[in-house]
Amino acid sequence: MAKKNPPLRIIPLGGLDGIGKNMTAIECGPDMVLIDAGLMFPDDSQPGIDLVLPDYTYVLENEDKLRGIVVTHGHEDHTGALPYLLQDLNNKVPIFSSKLTLGFIEGKLAEFRIKTPKFREVHDGSHVNLGNISIDFFSMTHSIPGALGVYIKSPQGTVMHTGDFKLDQTPIDGVTPNYAAITKFAKQGIDLLMSDSTNANRPGFTPSEAAVGPTLNEVIKNAKGRVFVASFSSHIHRLQQICDAAKKCGRKIVVTGRSMLTNTRVARELGYLNIDEKDILDAYELNGIPDDQIVVMCTGSQGEPLSALSRMANGEHKTLSIHSGDTVIISATPVPGNEKAVQQVINSLAKLGCTVVDKSTRLVHVSGHGSQEELKLMLAMAKPSYFMPVHGEAVHLRAHANLARQMGMRDDHIFVVDNGDTLEMRGGEVKIGPQVESGIVYVDGLRIGDTDPIVLRDRQKLANDGMVTVVAIVSMKRKRIDAIEFSSRGVSFTIDDEFSFDASASIMKAIDKGSFDYTSSGTGALRKAVRDSLSNFIWNRTRTRPMIIPVVMEV
């Protein structure tokens, strides 16, 4: 009977082509659930782009089926697309997640003035029915409290989605992975396992978050001046250890950076971050307090140009500055693509004469993702019939698939897929299904949509070689060009009298060779000829290719 009914469809819309923008639709007949709605930050090939989102057109086209959105934890790569998605949805659907995650989401939606979302708090052991899809939640450890995995039941079979995780035996908040739940679901039967692949090419085990605390304590204790600690603002476990170390060393805490201020406030209000009010100072209240009694928690661990750490390193922060004798701890790993930006900040700090401590010199950061041995343990506990690695770049997904092979899974039971590919499950059997529309959506200022690749190419060209504008004044009566004027921005050569004379001569020579219609309808051909001849002239003289903007003025 199950074979004739609609299949359970697993539809990854993001998260399988990089670290970020995680989004997966789970659909069975008339019902659909969305797991996560994250974003990704742009790379060097996307100049001017603010954020990168997964293309959620499929969700909007099928929103009558959407019964709820499940968010596994509160990081931006799992929550950041929510404001954009909710603005585009006509129907308000409930959002299911842990208390801290919902607190972070509420703050984010408030920035977008999205009111009265349907929040449904869930926790370890919670069970919800969404149409013919039922979901059980179980606790996992990650670099943020309130991380959850999900076990999904449908008429056609079962799926376990781990969310982001590592198997930390000594988590800061005492909440360990719910091994009993995982093994219970394994006994009930897990037809398909979807598991975090971020560290699939890293051997061994990921160290416990608790391993960072003693190092932070030692560095802060031995620092002569002020201590600045840059980390992800949502890494509440890390922030707790920083605060504990500061208190132990008799230092007060200062918080700076917009997201750091917001997230520490939310975490304190919800009871996830324990700091006495007397131990926190405002950045404006530091006058008269000795440098060796201050720890500053700030944003900027990824080298973001507008972050608190970058602005302090460049002397542009309103209230705080870093100088010789201070210590800066970068308590994070650069997200792929951010390495250059982080190194630039480190170099700026070094020029100021302060001491910079990062994970290359001391244990001031550990990953929130499980390494190979933990991923194998998850496979061993879950005992899935089929396996689909998720959350990672192509190299991570394939490394995770190889771990499954090492553990005896058959090749035809392992699915390494791309965004937009689908899996279909019928009676517990999984096969590749038809593709759906997928891709990426750019947030560019107030505009959200598919930024034309030509636009991005032009921006790169402008950044690399600059721009030259050439204005050709054309006499329609005499059927000739009377004058040519040049201006430029961002070019490496000077547009002086000599350049103007030689370039004009080159353009006139090209025009004289051609045959042009000196009417209003013929200016397009003139513009092309002017652009091409000037581009060739500049290339021959400078070996650069700036963008050429030709303007033909009729007189």
Give the active site residues: 196, 369
Query: What's the CA gap between 349 and 328, in Å, rounded?
Result: 8
* Residue 226, token pair as written in the block: 């002020």
Sign for the CA dihedral angle at 52, 58, 61, 66 comes to negative
**Gyration radius (Cα) of the chain, Å:** 28
Q: Which residues contact residue 510 at a Cβ distance below 8 angstroms, ignoring those fewer than 6 apart? A: 529, 530, 532, 533
Buried b / exposed e across 137-163, counting CB within 10 Å, b at 16+? bbbbbbbbbbbbbbbbbbbbbbbbbbb
Query: What's the CA gap between 377 and 368, in Å, rounded?
Result: 16
Q: Which residues contact residue 310 at a Cβ distance below 8 angstroms, ignoring those fewer than 6 apart? A: 300, 303, 304, 345, 348
The amino acid that residue 164 corresponds to is D
Work out whether strand 119-121 and strand 95-97 pair parallel, antiparallel, or are unpaired.
parallel
Q: Beta-carbon neighbour count of residue 64 at 10 Å?
A: 9
Q: Look-up: residue for tokens 């922060």?
A: 317
- Angle between helix axes 179-188 and 372-382 (nearest 10 degrees) is 50
Please report how many Cα atoms fall inside a 13 Å half-sphere around the Cα of residue 401, on the Cβ side: 19
Work out whether strand 252-256 and strand 280-281 pair parallel, antiparallel, or are unpaired.
parallel
Q: Which residues pair with 9 in a beta bridge?
A: 27, 424
Query: What's the CA gap between 108 and 173, in Å, rounded?
Result: 24
Q: Beta-carbon neighbour count of residue 243 at 10 Å?
A: 24
* Residue 517, token pair as written in the block: 């219609």
**Helix residue ranges, H only, 453-493:** 453-465
Q: How far is CA 44 from CA 85, 280, 336, 485, in A?
A: 25, 38, 11, 34
